[in-house]
């Protein structure tokens, strides 16, 4: 049987990194086995599901380059199939109507808590007579539909990650709700544990790969597969993504949605690479690889059982390695939107100027957003000089250097690396100073700082934008007033 796997996010929020990692693992498994990867949108929670979240999921997967072979399928478009299957279980006495009120259920839980028992439904309405049902309905009670969980019994499966996993049916909380009843007394949309089984049966899913927080659900779902006369798929429960303290990662730990990482300046190739390493490692120990390369060697033998701690430093390093290896034109295309988002006017510069800027700053990039910070002085005038720069620009010697630079620049129409170097050489000789003093003065005058990109290319780029001469003149004025 060919491999068929799926990712099934709920559109109740933006695409989460946990879901993204699950998508990556499913995609890798499908591609490794030349199988089928399916996208299903589990949108039965009508109150919380929103079209904007569905769109975010689709855009996030597209940004990651996680393509799907079938779908997206939407659960809300499959209600007739769910209702018919619920009715089948009712007809076969494998499910029943439960009329317990919230007050009664709360009282049940409080009594269990007082007796130091685990909270569970006590199956009190499993064997109602027709007369009892009619009496409850006469009271105006709206029932739910519960699936019968027989006790005691053991539910076991061979997990792709964890080996043999077993659960006692007594630990599943009693007969579980699989659907509600609407205002007209008809079967409504099902709950998660039921709908997911029907979907996976119909879509012929062969492996269900998801986070370990679904293990208890798996035990319940296996019982539903059995009740529907179907062999369950294989299950693989991947480790949770944890923060540095070992707790499940949350918004308090920083970004958790894929789009937040995109907006922070991470690139999808690096993000995919890091997602794959959150719980899996290639046998050769490589840390940098494309997901296409990973798909050739991916297997669950190398997926860890222990939680995967999110390491920002590692992600940043991987992102920087990718940025440093990309062609200049590619990096330029990727960082340009971030420059625009920062409000920088790109209409005054041509493509070649942007490419030259990219080549200059690319070695310093960790994130694409760094480009806006590093290149700020190319687009906006700095408000003031740093203390170091102010000190550097003081004194008659420095005034002579800056004056000589201004004079030389006025006599130069086009400035390139060679002519810029010649200007530095000539000023060094005419002023009788070391080259380093000239370079340091030039940097302080042009950028207002003593730290930044290589100064000669900076000099050339600023001159081509018409900014070098005014800044040298400004620095001379600062020197005269000091």
Is there a binding annotation on residue 98? yes
Is there a binding annotation on residue 94? no
Q: Is 141 helix (H, G, I), strand (E, B) or coil?
A: coil
Instruction: Output the 3-class SS for 208-244.
Output: EEEEHHHHHHHHHHHHHHHHCCCCCCEEEEECCEECC
Residue 16 CB neighbours (<10 A): 18
Residue 263 CB neighbours (<10 A): 14
**Which of 248, 240, 237, 241 shows the shortest CA–CA distance to 165?**
237
Q: Please, are residues 53 and 13 in contact by the beta-carbon 8 Å criterion?
A: yes
Catalytic residues, by residue number, are: 251
Sign (positive or negative) of CA dihedral 137, 139, 142, 144: negative
Beta bridge partners of 276: none
Beta strand 207-211 pairing with 308-309: unpaired
Is there a binding annotation on residue 100? yes
Helix axes 455-464, 417-431, angle to 10 degrees: 110
The C-alpha torsion from 383 through 386 and 391 to 394, rounded to 10°, is: -20
Q: Please, are residues 392 and 480 in contact by the beta-carbon 8 Å criterion?
A: no
Q: Please, are residues 162 and 305 in contact by the beta-carbon 8 Å criterion?
A: yes
Q: Which two tokens stand for residue 63?
A: 């940004």
Is there a binding annotation on residue 332? no
Residue owning tokens 């879901």: 19
Is there a binding annotation on residue 16? no
Residues making up the binding site for Zn(2+): 98, 100, 125, 127
Q: Which residues are annotated as a binding site for ATP?
A: 251
């Amino acid at each position: 049987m060919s491999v068929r796997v799926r990712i099934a996010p709920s559109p109740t929020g933006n695409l989460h990194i946990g879901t993204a990692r699950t998508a990556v693992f499913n995609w890798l498994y499908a591609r490794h086995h030349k199988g089928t990867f399916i996208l299903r949108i589990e949108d039965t929670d009508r109150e919380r599901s929103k079209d904007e979240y569905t769109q975010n999921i689709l855009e996030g997967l597209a940004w990651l380059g996680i393509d799907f072979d079938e779908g997206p399928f939407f659960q809300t478009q499959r209600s007739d199939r769910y209702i018919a299957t619920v009715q089948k279980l009712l007809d076969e006495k494998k499910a029943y109507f439960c009329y317990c009120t919230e007050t009664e259920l709360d009282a049940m839980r409080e009594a269990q808590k007082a007796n130091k028992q685990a909270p569970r439904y006590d199956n009190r309405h499993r064997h109602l007579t027709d007369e009892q049902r009619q009496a409850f309905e006469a009271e105006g009670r709206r029932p739910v539909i519960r699936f019968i969980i027989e006790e005691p019994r053991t539910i076991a499966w061979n997990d792709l990650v964890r080996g043999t996993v077993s659960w006692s049916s007594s630990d599943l909380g009693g007969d579980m709700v699989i659907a509600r009843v609407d205002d007209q007394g008809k079967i409504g949309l099902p709950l998660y544990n039921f709908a997911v089984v029907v979907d996976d049966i119909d879509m012929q899913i062969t492996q269900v790969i998801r986070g370990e927080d679904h293990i208890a659900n798996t035990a319940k779902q296996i019982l539903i597969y059995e009740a529907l006369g179907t062999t369950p798929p294989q299950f693989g429960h991947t480790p949770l993504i944890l923060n540095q303290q070992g707790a499940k990662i949350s918004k308090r730990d920083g970004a958790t949605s894929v789009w937040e990482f995109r907006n922070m300046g991470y690139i999808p190739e690096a993000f995919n690479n890091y997602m794959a390493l959150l719980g899996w490692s290639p046998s050769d120990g490589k840390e940098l690889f494309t997901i296409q390369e990973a798909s050739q060697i991916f297997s669950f033998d190398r997926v860890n059982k222990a939680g995967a701690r999110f390491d920002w430093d590692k992600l940043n390093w991987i992102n920087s390695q990718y940025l440093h290896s990309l062609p200049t034109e590619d990096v330029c295309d990727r960082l340009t939107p971030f420059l625009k988002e920062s409000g920088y006017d790109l209409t005054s510069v041509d493509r070649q100027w942007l490419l030259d800027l990219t080549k200059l700053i690319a070695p310093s990039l960790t994130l694409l957003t760094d480009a806006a910070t590093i290149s700020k002085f190319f687009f906006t005038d700095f408000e003031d000089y740093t203390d170091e720069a102010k000190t550097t620009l003081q004194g008659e010697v420095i005034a002579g250097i800056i004056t000589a630079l201004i004079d030389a620049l006025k006599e130069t129409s086009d400035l390139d690396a060679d002519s810029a170097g010649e200007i530095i050489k000539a000023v060094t000789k005419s002023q009788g100073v070391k080259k380093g003093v000239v370079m340091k003065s030039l940097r302080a005058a042009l950028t207002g700082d003593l730290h930044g990109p290589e100064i000669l290319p900076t000099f050339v780029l600023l001159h081509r934008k018409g900014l070098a001469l005014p800044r040298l003149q400004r620095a001379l004025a600062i020197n005269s007033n000091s």
